Amino acid sequence: MEPDFFFLLSVIPALSSALFKYYTEGPPKKSWDLKFHLAIALFRTNSRYLKLSVEQIQKTVDKVIIKVPFNITVKDVILDEEYRRKSITHLEKILKQYEDVLDEKWKESNDGRLRGEWTRVNEVDNVVVLYLHGGGFRTGTSKNARTITFKLAELTNSRVFAPNLRLSPQNQFPAALCDSIAAYLYLINPGPEAGFDPINPKIIVLSGDSSGGNLVFALLLFLRDAGLPLPAGSVILSPWTDLTHSMPSFWNAELNKIDLIPSKLGFYDIGAPSPASEEYFVTAKALADKIALKKPTMVSHPSFTEVPRFQLYCANEALAIPYVSPMLAESLGNLPPILCQVGGDEKLRDESILISYKAANPHEYQLPSYATKNFEKSPFKNPTKVILEVYDDMPHGWHALTFSEPSKIAFERCGDFIKRVTSIEDNNISMIDLVKEDLVPPSISVYPSLIAMRINTNGEIKELNEADRDCLKWDKIGIVPKET
């Protein structure tokens, strides 16, 4: 059977069941109307519920292509190999200290050259957005990220470049980060084949959702650590920044009926036997043997190796690498301004809140303790300016439901932020310069490096709930929990 047939078989009963529950029990959240409820039900019928192979899952998702509206221009591009080569050279220097826990095959490009697409609304644009797609590191392309990239292009009159990142388990960390760096180098230092002049980083904004949000943080940390030019800012949507799955909201059983993300170490199993899964098991064993032989001294916690390997993206011993789990970075200071948006009822809520507070207050939130022993020697202690927005009742992936009011509100705020960070020339900007006055009511506390707020489904704004901040006191940050 073809993946499309499996998908069709799952969609019809799933939507029928969702429709029945809506009229008999009501939606999981009172603010959800029928259209929103059914859309979430449709999202729930994705590949993790189907016993497909890795290749079938990726092909199924790849076929989800958003049609191009009349006002949008899309251009496919294939990047010259030089960008990936330059990226590898930079990464080898930064990742040398971690090489004993990495699969060296990330340098091989089995998927061919790096591809992507440009999106634009018109010929008049002064802003460029580099968009990194989500998909849990194992699925996704620029074409099924169009719901978001089209919206960003429309709201900001910007050009949006979205690369097709290499996927796991065929491509282990740091393959996706390598491609992200290559895409950024393509923008700021293009070759003659690119057809455009070098783009000033001060008009570039990074953006991404879910695992793409992870890669935005990882790319920012990498550029900072490597001394490369930083972009104007970043818009990060529901980022997955803690690959240890250590935060309480991830395991909150009350969110199971609301959010799309399963409470499971690694999210997904490897899937049905296939050439890719067989290669993964061989590669994982070879890496495990290498690690056992090298016995590397790594920043880590004993919990990492008390459970079998659970991420398709990397070995357990690599979980605390800051470019793998940015939430565990020693310091998130000295980064350009960040807008972080997350759903109030998604399982990634706590890590989004914590990473925002850590970036804005690097002196105060030096967590976890096992990863911060050298903070005093860090050259990156300056607070990063962060706007944190938590959206009431929203599950993971709600941005893609662009017909909904919360999605419209969120994107309008994204558009305003992008316009502001790319138009301010002075690096010593204040927080209030980053948002329009009417977007932050007087009742909201504005700190020198942080504005944190709750936004309801009608766009009304209030302070974070007290419970939202409980995660800042969590004493098991970066510790892999034992699944129940």
Q: Which two tokens stand for residue 272?
A: 């049905």
Q: How far apart are CA 79 and CA 454, in angstroms?
A: 40
- Which one, of 47, 53, 212, 21, lies nearest residue 129 by Cα? 212
**Sequence-ordered alpha helix ranges (H) in 167-301:** 175-188, 211-226, 275-294
Residue 161: strand pairing partners: 118, 130
Size (the chain), residues: 484
Place of tokens 């199971």: 256
- Which one, of 220, 429, 226, 180, lies nearest residue 332 by Cα? 220
- Which one, of 339, 365, 359, lies nearest residue 434 by Cα? 339
CA-only gyration radius of the chain, Å = 21
Q: How many CA atoms, within 13 angstroms, populate the side-chain half-sphere of residue 428?
A: 0
- Which one, of 322, 356, 351, lies nearest residue 474 by Cα? 351
Strands (E), 38-138: 73-78, 115-120, 128-132
Mind giving me the DSSP string for 371-399? G-TTGGG-S--SPPPEEEEEETT--TTGG
Q: List the catalytic residue out of 87, 158, 207, 210.
A: 210
Active-site residue flag, 210: yes
404 neighbors 415 (Cβ within 8 angstroms): no
- Which one, of 78, 113, 86, lies nearest residue 194 by Cα? 78
- Which one, of 104, 440, 169, lies nearest residue 311 by Cα? 169
Element (H, E) at 83: helix 81-94
Q: How far apart are CA 43 and CA 410, in angstroms?
A: 20
Q: How far apart are CA 321 and CA 329, in angstroms?
A: 7
Residue numbers annotated as active site: 210
